[in-house]
């Protein structure tokens, strides 16, 4: 299997240089290196520039409304445990209207991967503040700069008790591919927040800025099994920005505890509905 097998042939309409190209290529390489059959993978995307992922990767795809990636992804995994379910969301999609779904999917440890295309701006709607925009960030609709504190995706993930919390960078394809491989194979809820530069509407969080500041946690002996260490590293942002796995700990998944699935997922059960009692009740 080669990565070309995951090409759809659709014309890619992202801006030249968009960080989404790095995410797209890393996803394809991770799927190829894991040897996952196309029919066993399903991607769910929301509203935003990232939403085209379901058009550009030749696997099963579901495009949902804004902020609702995780409910749909949870349902897909519950119905068929054999699926590798990958949710894609933008920072606005995930941490605006979708923030409530994020907290519950993480604490329940739903066995899906959640990839955040975090460009810290609403790119699809031509450049407004997003929940992760840094304080003081100026846009055409906020010329005086953001006066709000940004959402911290890593801290949110750790606090919500996600069993796998990581950050990648779209400018480091090899490292991002390795993170995706671990996330897609993880037995539980896996968050990967990706620093994904928007070359058109965010002139602050650029490739040049990230290249000078990012460093890999694994190069400095970070203990990913420590909740305290993960939470401390989650707040490191400035001259140095850590990428890699912040926290990882195995625990029972949501599906293992769900009473309705004690007999197995719906996809594994014989389709022999008996509606005689229902009909008798209507007479």
What pLDDT is recorded for position 45?
Answer: 98
CA distance 194 to 117: 5
Q: Is the pLDDT of residue 13 over 90?
A: yes
Check pLDDT > 80 for residue 1: no
**Cα–Cα distance for residue pair 151/145, rounded to 1 Å:** 16
* Average pLDDT rounded to a whole number, residues 28-44: 97
Tell me the pLDDT tens digit for each residue of 67-104.
Answer: 999 999 999 999 999 999 999 999 999 999 999 999 99
Q: Containing H/E element for 179?
A: helix 173-185
Please state the domain extents for the chain.
3-282
pLDDT score of 170 = 98
- Statement: residue 152 has pLDDT above 90: yes
Q: What is the CATH number of domain 3-282?
A: 3.40.50.970
Q: What is the mean pLDDT of residues 140-154?
A: 95
Helix, strand and coil percent figures for the chain, each rounded to 5: 40, 15, 45
pLDDT reading at 277 higher than 90: no
Indicate the pairing of strand 60-63 with strand 164-169.
unpaired
SS3 242: strand
Q: What is the mean pLDDT of the chain?
A: 95
Least confident interval from 109-118, 189-198, 249-258 = 249-258
Q: How many Cα atoms occupy the beta-carbon half-sphere of 74 within 13 Å?
A: 18
Do β-strands 113-118 and 60-63 pair in parallel, antiparallel, or remain unpaired? unpaired
Half-sphere CA count of 68, side-chain side, radius 13 A: 8
Distance in angstroms (rounded) separating the CA atoms of residues 166 and 190: 8
Token pair in block for residue 263: 């007999």
Calpha distance 207→205 (Å, rounded): 7
Please tell me the number of Cα atoms within 13 Å of 44 on its side-chain side: 24
Sorting pLDDT into bands at 50, 70 and 90, what band is 199?
very high
CA dihedral 259, 263, 264, 266 (to 10 degrees): -90
Tell whether the model's pLDDT for residue 258 goes beyond 80.
Answer: yes
Task: Calculate what percentage of the chain has a pLDDT beyond 90.
Answer: 89
């Amino acid at each position: 299997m080669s990565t070309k097998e995951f090409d759809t042939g659709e014309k890619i309409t992202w801006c030249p240089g968009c960080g989404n190209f790095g995410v797209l290529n890393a996803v394809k390489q991770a799927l190829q290196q894991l040897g996952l059959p196309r029919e066993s993978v399903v991607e769910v995307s929301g509203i935003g520039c990232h939403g085209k992922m379901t058009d550009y990767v030749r696997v099963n795809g579901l495009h949902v409304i804004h902020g609702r990636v995780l409910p749909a992804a949870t349902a897909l995994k519950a119905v068929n445990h054999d699926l590798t379910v990958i949710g894609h969301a933008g920072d606005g999609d995930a941490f605006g209207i979708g923030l409530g779904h994020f907290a519950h999917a993480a604490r329940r440890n739903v066995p899906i991967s959640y990839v955040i295309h975090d460009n810290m701006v609403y790119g699809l709607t031509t450049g407004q503040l997003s929940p992760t925009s840094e304080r003081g960030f100026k846009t055409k609709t906020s010329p005086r700069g953001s006066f709000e504190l940004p959402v911290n995706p890593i801290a949110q993930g750790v606090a919500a008790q996600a069993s796998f919390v990581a950050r990648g960078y779209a400018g480091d394809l090899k490292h991002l591919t390795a993170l995706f491989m671990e996330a897609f194979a993880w037995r539980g809820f896996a968050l990967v927040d990706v620093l994904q530069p928007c070359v058109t509407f965010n002139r602050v969080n650029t490739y040049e800025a990230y290249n000078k500041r990012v460093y890999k946690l694994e190069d400095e002996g970070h203990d990913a099994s420590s909740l305290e260490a993960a939470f401390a590293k989650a707040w490191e942002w400035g001259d140095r920005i850590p990428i890699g796995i912040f926290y990882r700990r195995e625990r029972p998944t949501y599906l293992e505890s769900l009473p309705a699935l004690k007999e197995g997922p719906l996809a594994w059960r014989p389709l022999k509905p008996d509606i005689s009692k229902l009909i008798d009740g209507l007479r």
